[in-house]
Structure 1
Amino acid sequence: MKHLNKFLLATLCILSFSTAQAQDDNNPWALGLGINVVDFFPTGEDAPLGGYFDEFVNSGDHWNILPGISRLTIARNIGAGFYFEAAGSVNKIDKYGDEGWDGLTYYGLDGTFNYSFRNDANAGWFDPVLGVGGGYTWIDEEGVATLDGTVGFNFWLSDHFAFNIQTIYKHDFEDNPVRSHWQHVAGIKFALGGKDSDGDGIYDKDDECPEVPGLEQFNGCPDSDGDGIEDRNDECPNEAGLPQFNGCPDTDGDGVPDPKDECPTVAGLESMNGCPDADGDGVKDSDDECPNEAGPKENNGCPWQDRDNDGVLDKDDECPDVAGTAANNGCPEPTVEVIEELNEYSRTILFDLDKATIREESKETLQAIADIMKEYPQTIFHIGGHTDSTGSDSYNLKLSKERAASVREFLITAGIPANRMTSEGYGESQPIATNKTAKGRQENRRVEISLDKDKEMKKSATEDTTDM
């Protein structure tokens, strides 16, 4: 038993070192553990032995068995179904054919070249094996070289674990007490070796993406979004998509993949980069100011409409039903004749003596002025007050301002927006007749209405800035 312990320890150290080296070199290996039976009887020898295969399974009379693990093997795949297996075994010989021996110690070291009919570790669970090789066997101090032939079966319960049975014939060419014999084996095998850097269960030699965990159907490459398209061929590896779009999704189902779709959640047209064009005018709805009315691109998708035929499109026309001018945003501007008409009315406005109070009989005239102004809703009018030269300059200037303001206030109450009128007094500084006669002074005492050009220019400038 002392020799047995030394043998097992040495064998385990050799196997452990070999296995570690094999794994580092990325080679497939297999480690086997089992029991062995030694039988000298059915070897074709003279008595006390029998003929070949005579009483081949007579375990009770002829088999020598050492309880416990009594055989260790290590195997390395060579390729094309071939592998080399080295084995170490130990036994205790109590039976030599029909004779009894006095518990001699048996050691065996063998190496065989084997062929697996399974050919591939992934090709099924049933694995018949044939092999040939040689070895050296000792019984106590006597040793002899042998020619070995083997037949066996591996039953693979998984890719890395198998149950093994095997029969080996060891032929001795010398006249030695060891003699030719049969060795029967039963045990288990563990497939070792094979590097799997990313831990995905696919060896690096078969893994096309050895540094990234992947799937067997993609030869070890990943499919992060699970859409059936491996990441390296997937233009959208983190979003499940369709094969026709190289793995990218089409959320709105319009035939335009999301990365190229400017409106990915709304079905649209390929010609519009995936955006809709409800009115079919060639302007996508997001840029179309009239998405349900066909119109040209130059008009932001709105139809060409100019109801009042004034040359200003309805969309820009602040007075779309009344002909006007482009300068006044499509609204009408008062002509010289209109201004003259307003002034004919305004010159008849009467005030109380030396006061800004409008006399009752002039209110009908002012209402007529308001009605004319309402026809020009975008025009800013200026109301100017004037006096004759009677009295001081300061008094005349103050009175003219108050009378102009009084007219403006009346027109506001008549419905004219305050922001469309300005007023100012000019006193006696702008006479239209001589102040030397009563008739001339009467003409100089007046209210005049004109266009406020400064206000119009400022309004136009503000609108232009807003448009920009």
Structure 2
Amino acid sequence: MKHFSKFLLASMLVLGLTSVNAQDANNPWSIGIQTNAVDFYPTGQDAPQGEWFNHYFETDNWNILPSVSRITVGRYIGAGFVAEFGGSINQIDQFGERSVGDLSYYSADLMANYSLRALLNDGWFDPVVGVGGSYNWIGDTDNDLQGFDGATLNGKLGFNFWFSDNVALTVESNYKHSFETETASHFQHAAGIKFIFGGTDSDGDGIYDKDDECPETPGLPEFNGCPDSDGDGIEDRMDECPNEAGLAQFNGCPDTDGDGVPDPQDECPNEAGTAEMNGCPDSDGDGVADNEDDCPNEAGPADNNGCPYEDRDGDGVIDDEDDCPDVAGTMANNGCPEPSAEVVSELNEYSNTVLFDLNKATIRSESEDALDQIAEIMEEYSNTVFHIGGHTDSTGADDYNLQLSRERAESVREALVERGISSSRLTSEGYGETQPIATNNTSAGRQENRRVEISLDEEKEMRE
């Protein structure tokens, strides 16, 4: 027994090395299995007892039953307090320095213990102080030592050394003071193993339900018991993509192509694109995403599936806007050709051969071929508006000449309409004798001034 204190010291050094749990609300119950030692010597009474704490650590005066001789049951109350009930048996053969015959020893203890562990940053070292009472039965011996049967007031100092989540090595010393029989006051030391239990961990993740924010799903301590299935550092209940590792900036969702659009919102998750195109690229910059663009490398309008419109005649006016898609024209004339000066000159060569009855607007029959030629040329320029102007010489009254020129111009217009030229493409006007191209003093000059001229009516829009 002299080496028992050395054994306790070695156990303290070997077993108390890690930071673990202790008895608390998660593990409210404990059971202790101990060996106890009873010492009457250092209690400050008369001989055969010594002075207070005299030879306190001297085990020669200890009464030890070398077996499991003390059992405790504890229940966590809260705020670091534990109510503990203990029962002990022993045999007393040493009363101070005096040997006695074997005396039976029984004790029932009820203690209120307080753990100082929280003050030490919840480490493995758990000092405990306690106060309470006991009822003790000490058997008598042949007249030299009277038996004792009564209560004591107890004070306790102990240490728990937690070396796993549920198991601790315990050592403690209780002073039991008897007010009835002072010689019955004594120290009871105990050492053994304590087991804590009673906590509920429904999902088996090592975090008790009381502290587990996801008690039905195994999780991690850093997320208070909640899982992070994809291991991206964002717990599942806050992760919009819990099964795919992602980024915090996208609430746990990945951005596979690195274009700044998270995959769930990215219509092209494997190709870098733009937010405007919902994560898809637009290679030709025409505002139509490549995955919807029939011509991804040629800019074109959306209403043509991203392809440029055709320009079959190559005149720079797309077919969709070209009134003459198969004939090269000008943009100003909606893609249709415009007659050149030579063409206008040719028209007027024919128009100069159009003859009228004397002082009438009736076209003579020999002018039919000329009108046919004029209509044929106009048909080639289907988007052009032509103007027919009638002119006279200065012979006769001005009003008469003006009216006659108007009627002759209108007669030519009607003749061309009859040959298939749209009336919306023809305008006519009479100018009388106001626009001579030769002198009116000679017969030849007056003949030149009596004419019908065809020109382009650029100020007129084609009427339907």
TM range (shorter): 0.5 to 0.7
1:22-101 equivalent positions in 2, closer than 5 A: 28-60=28-60, 62-101=61-100
SS in 1 for 2:303: helix
Aligned partner of 2:205 among 200, 211, 219: 200
1:117-132 equivalent positions in 2, closer than 5 A: 117-119=116-118, 123-132=122-131
- 8 Å Cα contact 2:27/2:196 also seen in 1: no
Aligned-pair CA distance for 1:119: 2.8
Q: Please say which of residues 268-277 and 119-128 is displaced more in the overlay.
A: 119-128
- 8 Å Cα contact 1:133/1:149 also seen in 2: yes
Q: Which residue of 1 aligns with 2:157?
A: 151
Measured against aligned partners, the alpha-carbon deviations of 1:412-455 in whole angstroms (never above 9, x if no partner) come to: xxxxxxxxxxxxxxxxxxxxxxxxxxxxxxxxxxxxxxxxxxxx
Q: Which residue of 2 aligns with 1:164?
A: 170
Measured against aligned partners, the alpha-carbon deviations of 1:298-329 in whole angstroms (never above 9, x if no partner) come to: 22112234140589957999xx98779xxxxx
Q: Distance in 1 between matches of 2:82 and 2:228?
A: 36
SS in 1 for 2:188: strand
Aligned-pair CA distance for 1:176: 7.5
Aligned partner of 1:264 among 269, 273, 282: 269
- 8 Å Cα contact 2:309/2:320 also seen in 1: no
1:217-366 equivalent positions in 2, closer than 5 A: 217-308=222-313
1:138 correspondence with 2:137: yes
Give 1:247's aligned amino acid. G
Aligned-pair CA distance for 1:27: 5.6
How many correspondences in the alignment?
299
Give 2:30's aligned amino acid. A
Residues 315 and 88 of structure 1: is their aligned pair in 2 closer, same or farther, counting only changes over 3 Å?
farther
Instruction: Please list every run of 5 or more consecutive structure 1 residues that lacks an aligned counterpart in the other structure.
Output: 1-22, 325-468
Instruction: Please list every run of 5 or more consecutive structure 2 residues that lacks an aligned counterpart in the other structure.
Output: 1-22, 140-146, 330-464
Give 2:59's aligned amino acid. S
Aligned-pair CA distance for 1:244: 0.8
SS in 2 for 1:133: strand
Q: Distance in 2 between matches of 1:146 and 1:276?
A: 87
Q: Please identify the structure whose Cα radius of gyration is greater.
A: 2
- 8 Å Cα contact 2:272/2:280 also seen in 1: yes
Q: CA RMSD in A?
A: 2.9
Aligned-pair CA distance for 1:103: 1.1
Q: Distance in 2 between matches of 1:72 and 1:124?
A: 25
Give 1:40's aligned amino acid. F
Measured against aligned partners, the alpha-carbon deviations of 1:67-88 in whole angstroms (never above 9, x if no partner) come to: 1111111222222222122111
Give 1:164's aligned amino acid. T
- 8 Å Cα contact 2:45/2:182 also seen in 1: no
Q: Distance in 2 between matches of 1:52 and 1:311?
A: 118
SS in 2 for 1:205: helix
TM-score (norm 1): 0.60
Q: Distance in 2 between matches of 1:304 and 1:279?
A: 15
Q: Distance in 1 between matches of 2:297 and 2:31?
A: 78
Q: Which residue of 2 aligns with 1:103?
A: 102
Give 1:160's aligned amino acid. N
Measured against aligned partners, the alpha-carbon deviations of 1:40-92 in whole angstroms (never above 9, x if no partner) come to: 111111111111111212212x1100011111112222222221221111111
Q: Identity of aligned pairs, percent?
A: 65
Measured against aligned partners, the alpha-carbon deviations of 1:395-426 in whole angstroms (never above 9, x if no partner) come to: xxxxxxxxxxxxxxxxxxxxxxxxxxxxxxxx
Q: Distance in 2 between matches of 1:121 and 1:244?
A: 39
Q: Which residue of 1 aligns with 2:424?
A: none
Q: Distance in 2 between matches of 1:132 and 1:118?
A: 17
Aligned partner of 1:210 among 208, 215, 219: 215
Q: Distance in 2 between matches of 1:316 and 1:95?
A: 122
Q: Distance in 2 between matches of 1:209 and 1:190?
A: 27
Give 1:59's aligned amino acid. T
Give 1:258's aligned amino acid. D
Q: Distance in 2 between matches of 1:72 and 1:121?
A: 28
Residues 256 and 202 of structure 1: is their aligned pair in 2 closer, same or farther, counting only changes over 3 Å?
same
Measured against aligned partners, the alpha-carbon deviations of 1:147-199 in whole angstroms (never above 9, x if no partner) come to: 0001111111123221111110000111387x000011111111211111111
Q: Distance in 2 between matches of 1:55 and 1:251?
A: 76
Residues 187 and 86 of structure 1: is their aligned pair in 2 closer, same or farther, counting only changes over 3 Å?
same
TM-score (norm 2): 0.60
Q: Which residue of 1 aligns with 2:388?
A: none
Measured against aligned partners, the alpha-carbon deviations of 1:237-276 in whole angstroms (never above 9, x if no partner) come to: 1111111111111111111111111111111111111111
Aligned-pair CA distance for 1:120: 8.2
Residues 29 and 119 of structure 1: is their aligned pair in 2 closer, same or farther, counting only changes over 3 Å?
farther
Q: Which residue of 2 aligns with 1:425?
A: none
Residues 277 and 254 of structure 1: is their aligned pair in 2 closer, same or farther, counting only changes over 3 Å?
same
Give 2:167's aligned amino acid. F
- 8 Å Cα contact 2:136/2:149 also seen in 1: yes
